[in-house]
Amino acid sequence: MPTTDDLFADSTPAAPEQIAEGAWLLRGFVLSDADRLLDAISQVASQAPFRHQITPGGYSMSAAMSSCGEWGWVTDRQGYRYSTKDPLTDQPWPAMPDLLRQVAIDAAAASGYEGFNPDACLINRYETGAKMGLHQDKDEADFSAPIVSISLGAPITFMFGGLARTDKTSRWKLEHGDVVVWGGKSRLFFHGVAPLGKRSEHPQTGPMRYNLTFRKVT
């Protein structure tokens, strides 16, 4: 006998869950697009390879990164910035694939942010042990646009706090197909991810996790 869960599988997306002021968790929102999203990531990475960038302080980031769209995010000894060119190839970043742009627009709209028009998509790739320390995303010109984040592959623990680094943080598990939309007050909240666990895997990506973040840079 099919269960109610089977009958509703894939047809009724979970309702958006509010996790902070202006922030919405859309569990499984891109599950049905996941294969094509992973293909699009491979496509981008064939032109703009994943690389471990160097922080201004001289450390290599544990998450490997690439970008697509008009702007990509770069860090080196000189500092953090957005750039229209990939410093590895000195070429413009690959165009943002239509599918990526469309799912980001749809996720923003499902969270109450109509008319989202991202001009950058940053792609983070985590392997076992990779993490991202608490930080704010404030290199963009206009904080009125949300940031849309898509998780694919191995699950990870995501942390976010408030407007001050010392604010208490809460933890959420982000899994393959989950989307989080950050707008309003939460747009400038401190956030990061805990080290990818040794046993964290996904059938399609093995021990890797990908995170796409869509931004309006200019």
Known binding residues for Fe cation are 135, 137, 191
**Any contact of residue 125 with ligand MD3 (CB under 6 A)?**
no
Interface with ligand MD3, residue 67, by CB under 6 A = no
Q: Does 213 bind ligand MD3 (CB under 6 A)?
A: yes
Q: Apex CA 210: angle with CA 187 and CA 88, to 5°?
A: 90
Please give the Cα distance from 88 to 48 (Å, whole number): 8
The pair of three-digit structure tokens given for residue 100, joined into one six-digit string: 């990526």
The tokens of 137 are what? 């995303």
Contact between 193 and ligand MD3 by CB under 6 A: the answer reads yes
Distance CA 197, CA 192 (A): 15
Residue nearest to Fe ion as judged by C-beta position: 137
Would you say 31 or 181 has its CB closer to ligand MD3? 181
- Using DSSP, state whether 218 is helix, strand or coil: coil
Binding pattern to ligand MD3, positions 80-119, x when CB under 6 A?
----------------------------------------
Per CB under 6 A, the list member of 160, 161, 178, 196 interacting with ligand MD3 is 160
d(CA 21, CA 48): 35
Angstrom distance (rounded) from CA 99 to CA 68: 12
* Interacting residue ranges for ligand MD3, rule: CB under 6 A: 122, 124, 132, 137, 147, 149, 158, 160, 180, 182, 186-187, 189, 191, 193, 211, 213
